[in-house]
Structure 1
Amino acid sequence: MDIDVRGPRFGAAVTTVVLAVVLVTGSAWLLAWQTLAFALGAAGGVGRSPYGWLFRTAVRPRIGPPTEFEAPEPPRFAQAVGLVFAGLGLVGYTFGPDWLGLAATGAALAAAFLNAGFGYCLGCEMYLLVRRLTVRAG
C-alpha cells in the first residue's frame, strides 16, 4: 500500500532539527533517540516510526487528505541508511573518535535536509539504484 509523500518529508524535517541539535550540543543521548527512530522506521516502515506516528495523528488531520503517494520501500530503505549513519555517529560520540560522530551525523543531517527542504530523498535514490543493479545482475 502506497504512503502519503508528505509523511517522510515531515519526518525528514524533524530529523533535520534533531541532528542539527546533536551537532551543536554533541548529545549522544539525543543521537541515540534519533538512531532508535531510524531503527523503528527501517524495521516497520516510516509509518511506524515516531515521526510517522506524529504526522499521522497530529499533522495529517490538519492539512487534509493526500494527493500524492509513493511506494513505501524506498523511504524504508532510506531509514535503514539513516540508521547506519546515526549508529556510526553514536559510536563516535560515545566511544570516539569524535570526528566519526561529527562526520556521520553531518552526513545524515545533509541527507535529511535534502529531503525536507527539496523533496530529494537520497536514500530513496540509493534504493532505486540498488534495485536496478540487482535486476541486471539477476
Structure 2
Amino acid sequence: MQLDPRGPRFVAAITAAVLVVVLATGSGWLALAQAAVFALTAADPRRGPYALLYRHLVAPRLPPPADREDAAPVRFAQLVGCAFLTASAAGYLSGATAVGLTFAAFGLAAAFLNAVFGLCLGCEAYLALRRLRPS
C-alpha cells in the first residue's frame, strides 16, 4: 500500500493539537481517545479519522503528490504512538500524572517533528529495525 506523504503530516498536525490539549488539561480520557485513533490508523493509515479528513477535505484541493511512500513505516509509527498514548492515559487515569505527562510530551514531540519538518521518528525506527534484521 502506498500513501500520499502529505497525509501523515496532516494527521501529525491534528495529533499534535490534540496532545497540546491533553497536556494542558491532563485529560486521561482524551489521551485514551488519541490512543484509539492511533490503533485505528495503524490498522490502515488511509482509514483513520484524521486521514479521512485529509482525503476528503484537503487532498482534493491539492495537486497530485509528486511521489508516494510505503505505508509499513507509517503503520509502525502509529503502533508506537498507540503504545505511548496508552501509557499516558494509564498514567493520567491512575493518578500517576508524571507518567501521563511524560508519555504525552514524547508523543507531542514526535507529532510536532513530523508535522513541521516531515521527520517521522517512528518511521525512522522502523527503517532502522529493518536494517538490523538479518537478510
How would you bin the TM-score normalised by the shorter chain? over 0.9
**Partner in structure 2 of residue 17 of structure 1:** 17
2:8 partner letter: P
- TM-score, normalised to structure 2, is 0.96
Relative to its length, the structure with more helix (as a share) is 1
Match of 1:64 in 2: 63
Query: What TM-score do you get using the length of structure 1 for normalisation?
Result: 0.94
Which whole-Å CA distance do the structure 1 matches of 2:83 and 2:29 have between them?
A: 16
- Cα displacement string for residues 19-78 of structure 1 (whole angstroms, at most 9, x for unaligned residues): 0110001112221221111000112x2111111111001110112322221000001100
Matched, 1:120 2:115: no
Q: Residue 91 of structure 2 corresponds to which residue in structure 1? A: 92
User: Is the 2:23–2:101 Cα contact (8 Å) retained in structure 1?
Assistant: yes
Q: Which amino acid aligns with 2:54?
A: F
Distance of 1:94 and 1:47 partners within structure 2: 30
Find the counterpart in structure 2 of residue 108 from structure 1.
107
- Residues 28, 91 of structure 2: 8 Å contact kept: no
- The answer for the alignment partner of 1:81 in structure 2 is 80
Secondary structure class of the residue paired with 1:13: helix
Large movers: runs of 4+ above 2 Å: none
Please, what is the CA RMSD of the aligned residues? 1.0
- The alignment-based identity, stated in percent, is 52
Q: Distance in 2 between matches of 1:63 and 1:116?
A: 17
In structure 2, the gaps of 5 or more residues are none
State how many pairs are aligned: 135
What is the SS of the residue equivalent to 1:123?
helix
Aligned residue for 1:48, secondary structure, equals coil
Aligned residue runs from structure 1 range 28-39, under 5 A: 28-39=28-39
In structure 1, distance between residues paired with 2:95 and 2:113: 27
Letter aligned with residue 86 of structure 2: G
Deviations 1:106-138 (A, max 9, x none): 00110000000100000000000111111x2x5
How far residue 11 of structure 1 moved from its aligned partner, in angstroms, is 0.2
